Amino acid sequence: MRRPRNRTAVKHTLSQCPLLGVLAAAALSSAPPQAIDRQPTVVVPGAVPGQPPSDALVLFDGSSAAQWVYRDGRPAQWPVVDGALVSKSGTGNIYSRRKFGSLQIHVEFATPSMPNAHGQARANSGVYLQGRYEIQILDSYNNPTYSNGSAGALYGQYAPLVNVSRPPTQWQTYDIIFHAPKCGADRKIATPGTVTVLYNGVLVQDNVTIRGRTTSSDDTDPCEDGPLMLQDHYHPDVKETFMQFRNIWVRPIPQAAQ
C-alpha cells in the first residue's frame, strides 16, 4: 500500500473533521458489521461425498424398490441385486411414487459391458425429469453416436459439454439441478424449465433452457409436477440391457430459491 506523503497532515485533517474520520475507518474495514439475522437451515451432509444429506428424500438406498412404480401404479418389478436396482429389459420404465417440481437429484449408475452393441444400442437408459425431460444414460466410453444423444445429453436438445464417461461396469454419478417450467394463468408455459448436470462431478449441462419434452417421454401436463422416471430402453439390436442404479436421492427446491 502506498503511504501518505505527510502522515501528520492527514492526522491533523481527520482530527479537524470527525465525520471524515468515520468515513475513513469504514472504508478501511472490509465489511461493515452486521447483526446476526435469520440463519440458514442446518443440513447435515452425507458421511461421505455422494451420500444423502439429512433433508434428502431417499428414493433408493440399496434395499428396496418400494419408492418406485409403473405408470399404472403397480409396484416396480426391477430386482435389487447386491444393493443395486437393476433395469432388466422388458420390465418397463419405472416412476418415483412421489411427484416433484423443481428438484436437486443425485443418481448413481453403472452401464453394462456390451462390446457388440454400438451407438444408441449400447447400454441405453435415462433419467427423466417429471417424466418428460430425459438426461441420457448411455455407454459413451469410446462409443460415438449423435452428440445430443450421448451420456449427459438433454436428449435430442443439448450435447454434453464434455465426454466424462467412465468405462462400462464402473459406477458413475449424475447430479442434476432442475428448475421446472413456470406456467401462467392460461396453463401455458410462461418461463421454460432449465437444467444443470454434473456428470462424475464435471459440468456437462450449464443451466440450459429446456425446449420441450424429449423423445419417448410421457405427454403429460408440463404445468404439473411429475415423477422421476428411469428408462428401460428397448432397442431391436440388443436382447437385454442390465443397467444398475444405486444411491438415488432428491431434494425439492423451495419456491423461494427459484
The residues that touch Mg ion, with contacts defined as CB under 5 A, are 124, 126, 136, 233
Q: Residue type at 164?
A: V
Q: How far apart are CA 81 and CA 224, in angstroms?
A: 34
Which residue is nearest to Mg ion, using beta carbons?
126
80 within 8 A of 242, measured Cβ to Cβ:
no
Cβ distance to Mg ion smaller for residue 136 or 163: 136
Q: How far is the CB of 248 from Mg ion (least distance, A)?
A: 17
Q: How far apart are CA 23 and CA 17, in angstroms?
A: 10
254 within 8 A of 166, measured Cβ to Cβ:
no
Q: How far is the CB of 230 from Mg ion (least distance, A)?
A: 10
Q: Are strands 80-81 and 68-69 parallel, antiparallel or unpaired?
A: unpaired
140 within 8 A of 150, measured Cβ to Cβ:
yes
Which cell numbers in the block locate residue 70? 409403473
Cβ distance to Mg ion smaller for residue 92 or 126: 126
155 within 8 A of 135, measured Cβ to Cβ:
yes
Q: How far is the CB of 212 from Mg ion (least distance, A)?
A: 17
Cβ distance to Mg ion smaller for residue 213 or 233: 233
Cβ distance to Mg ion smaller for residue 68 or 155: 155
Q: How far is the CB of 137 from Mg ion (least distance, A)?
A: 6
214 within 8 A of 156, measured Cβ to Cβ:
yes
Q: How far is the CB of 29 from Mg ion (least distance, A)?
A: 55
